[in-house]
Structure 1
């Protein structure tokens, strides 16, 4: 069983590397905004690559939606299905989930799938992350579960529809083809495995992998102390904060996770689809009580998760939903707040980030449309044993950033500053990590969209630690006038504008007066603590 499990894991890793190498967009090739996994024939995740936690949790809910419309017994080798609709188990519209059946000895034994963030899928703003969206129809092309390929032949009409709804059609098709190819990679490796193991062996191993993970999780849950653990975070939506509340209660060997008391959905895109909410729970459980247990559908069987209908964590159709990741940052924070008393050594204080900055227009060098955007990292929260890391995407995302050289080579912009924001980490026995400062000089006019993360409240500290600094964004026009961006906002920026983003720092852990003097001195030597340096100079 362990040999098969590691073989499955190797397949997922190879799928992901194939996708990264074959894709065309920087979003996948450089930032690795993609994930891969294998399922059983019933649609349960067996093995997942160590990629983006929120993706992998979402993928656990997406394939069952596909199977509702397409019975497995009617599938054939080479079939491929696609879905990106959050109301059919997906995440947000730029995330395409592409899945296909796997066969051994002529029998369906499971599915392979990839999830990748496509740079632009239409909608009212370049990159399909409009800050001003009020319903999902503003955010781009919606695909419920549909058949993309039959017996290896890709539907040319559906390809044309996808291309016609993107500002970057050639890139969309290239990335889509790269996703389809990952299923072919998985099938080839399954064919190789069947030279050593029968189809029955593979099916039996997959079932045992899930059953053992379930049993291990149930044992841990059954050993938890009775009572309810409660946590809370304030989701920062510009000047408004929305409470996210969670209660965790063990009932024999099942952990009940209830988000009752969470704030209502908002009119804008700052809502999290239910699948992303579940993904946050899976991640939090995995790193605390489930540490060491393989993260798969077996673990998930021991969880019973509810979120109020119409809340920010389970909005009603047709709510806009593109900023689900920003909501998930706070959902994860609330879960860790609840779990901290039991697992202080396994949790972090609040982690920072800047949200998503997107822009697009016409490139004067080529006359063609361009679109750019990425989630901006900040400082990670401190733990009870170490300072937070600087310049990190919050834990549920696990992304890289786009290299400066690539941005300047492929887009009409210049990066004038890219550095750590001094003093942005929350003070504590262990301080939070520092945010990032990135300054973009626009070499052409552009439509910009800011889905700002943590603009008014810095990430919370733990155990007496102080919060990190909030995100700060300013736009300096060519005439020298300055505008602050402190909420979700769409705007037009003329050529020559400078957009400077300082992302939130991480929260501290423990009381600041308990910090080791040598650690303070080290921060001073490194220039991280400018307030102290300036105070001493004064």
Structure 2
């Protein structure tokens, strides 16, 4: 083909899908090459491609929070390292939320991509590393009051120059982790994703020249922006309000949002939301923005490729000093727990004009972490994961049971992997009877998981929804709240109702029952066939919350 000809519509779509394939292959190589169960089993990672200005153009369908966060983090890298000075093989790293990242365990690794000696754009991956220091194993301390308690902070740094990795930086990272070998392996896997992306760009460059590839990325972004603006311009001239309460162990922190539009620009204003807390229960700015992107993507802009073009059509106001935009040096590791409620407030507002596309509140248990010395290996270990619950119902379907909330979209760690790699035994893993919220469509059921630790450990509980279960929508009932009990040998059960830490002796059993999902629509409108199916699967016998089976 003529290498200087502008790309037609078909060619642009072919290139867009090629970049999607690049993102997918980057993610697959990261999952297969990493060592930690957090990435290998739970797939707590995401990959994206950006244009030369650092605007996200294409992303793999992975974790919405990650992909929204990654949209802004590269800007901070470019502010510290101008693109004009970058060379093939350069790699950059950042994990600090105050430089556009999510929370400290999430490492963002990015590098420029070249074709014909000129930059085409950037490839990047984001992955949750099991431990980066801090007060407790797994770097999710429940009692942190400032970010310095949560682990190693890394502002934008140059990790590799022309393919040569800076071992001094690796040494610092390894020295600040309880699992240094795992950190090096997972970080190496992230660096390799940039090489994967570059090799695929080299293949694309055999068919398209650099100008064409850059033009395609720009056009991909422009089309998303035009489509999003058209959707916004068609909205009625109204203001939609949404609210939720972030459940911080009984302290209900208000989250408020107002949506309106001026021409083809949508305004999202979080004024009136509660102040930041003196704890990790704060959402960094990037995390809150990611919730907005996710909510708009599945409702107003459904079917439109999510990238910087979509985000340009949004005007977002988040007051500094609020729980949704805390000021330095606030602790921030529980940002995702706050995001569950942020998403709920957005769904509440969007239900006014897109009731067929919203979801009721989705349950979860927060993050349970523990670690100590493994007697079998004589080395430190750390475990932790965000625990799924019942998903919220929608206009057309019941909520799924035992699901990570949609802003996270993770897998859980299989029982077999846990028991083979850690001194722990899983005694129970099942759905929680009676935890689903009632409605025309019922919510999903939460999970019950019992851990018996086989060696002394230090535990951290960042509990999600311990007082009030996820809310229903449009008349639906709320799901059951999270319940956690710790039973030490020869001791009465201890209830965990908020963010807390404790030391547990060998033989201690920790039972986590995660929140169920909210229902959608009045329970009295539940169809007879659905009620019959409830009885068929035993749901009628365990009495769905708020309704008769």
TM-score (norm. length: structure 2): 0.96
Structure 1 173/360 Cα, relative in aligned 2: closer, same or farther at 3 Å?
same
Aligned pairs (5 A) from 1:70-469: 70-469=81-480
Q: Deviations over 1:386-417 (max 9, x none)?
A: 11000000000000000000000010000000
What secondary structure is seen at the aligned counterpart in 1 of 2:78?
Answer: helix
Displacement of 1:227 in angstroms is 1.6
What secondary structure is seen at the aligned counterpart in 1 of 2:138?
Answer: helix
- Contact conserved, 1:78 with 1:100, CA < 8 A, in 2? yes
- Contact conserved, 2:434 with 2:543, CA < 8 A, in 1? no
The corresponding residue for 2:3 is none
The corresponding residue for 2:539 is 528
Give distance in 1, aligned partners of 2:266 and 2:529: 43
Displacement of 1:513 in angstroms is 1.3
Displacement of 1:14 in angstroms is 0.2
What secondary structure is seen at the aligned counterpart in 1 of 2:356?
Answer: helix
Displacement of 1:527 in angstroms is 2.4
- Contact conserved, 1:422 with 1:527, CA < 8 A, in 2? no
Displacement of 1:520 in angstroms is 2.3
Displacement of 1:526 in angstroms is 2.0
- Contact conserved, 2:94 with 2:156, CA < 8 A, in 1? yes
Structure 1 92/532 Cα, relative in aligned 2: closer, same or farther at 3 Å?
closer
- Contact conserved, 2:291 with 2:407, CA < 8 A, in 1? yes
Aligned pairs (5 A) from 1:25-36: 25-36=36-47
What secondary structure is seen at the aligned counterpart in 2 of 1:344?
Answer: coil
Give distance in 1, aligned partners of 2:536 and 2:199: 54
Displacement of 1:76 in angstroms is 0.5
- Contact conserved, 1:422 with 1:529, CA < 8 A, in 2? no
What secondary structure is seen at the aligned counterpart in 2 of 1:255?
Answer: strand
Give distance in 1, aligned partners of 2:541 and 2:471: 21
Structure 1 472/202 Cα, relative in aligned 2: closer, same or farther at 3 Å?
same
Aligned mate of 1:474, from 477, 485, 490:
485
Give distance in 2, aligned partners of 1:423 and 1:528: 8
Displacement of 1:109 in angstroms is 1.3
- Contact conserved, 2:87 with 2:112, CA < 8 A, in 1? yes
Give distance in 1, aligned partners of 2:447 and 2:326: 32
Give distance in 1, aligned partners of 2:30 and 2:513: 32
Displacement of 1:531 in angstroms is 4.3
Q: Deviations over 1:188-216 (max 9, x none)?
A: 00000000000010011111111111111
Q: Deviations over 1:357-385 (max 9, x none)?
A: 00000011111100000000000001111
Displacement of 1:54 in angstroms is 0.4
Give distance in 2, aligned partners of 1:233 and 1:2: 40
Q: How many residues align?
A: 535
Give distance in 2, aligned partners of 1:238 and 1:529: 31
User: Which consecutive residues of structure 2, in runs of 5 or more, have no partner in the other structure?
Assistant: 1-11, 545-549
Displacement of 1:230 in angstroms is 0.7
- Contact conserved, 2:473 with 2:520, CA < 8 A, in 1? yes
The corresponding residue for 1:43 is 54
What secondary structure is seen at the aligned counterpart in 1 of 2:394?
Answer: coil
What secondary structure is seen at the aligned counterpart in 1 of 2:66?
Answer: helix
Displacement of 1:530 in angstroms is 4.0
Give distance in 1, aligned partners of 2:172 and 2:109: 16
User: Which consecutive residues of structure 1, in runs of 5 or more, have no partner in the other structure?
Assistant: 534-538
Q: Does residue 1:55 correspond to 2:66, yes or no?
A: yes
Q: Deviations over 1:433-472 (max 9, x none)?
A: 0000000011111000000000000000011110000000
Displacement of 1:514 in angstroms is 1.3
Give distance in 2, aligned partners of 1:528 and 1:79: 56
- Contact conserved, 1:416 with 1:439, CA < 8 A, in 2? yes
What secondary structure is seen at the aligned counterpart in 2 of 1:354?
Answer: strand
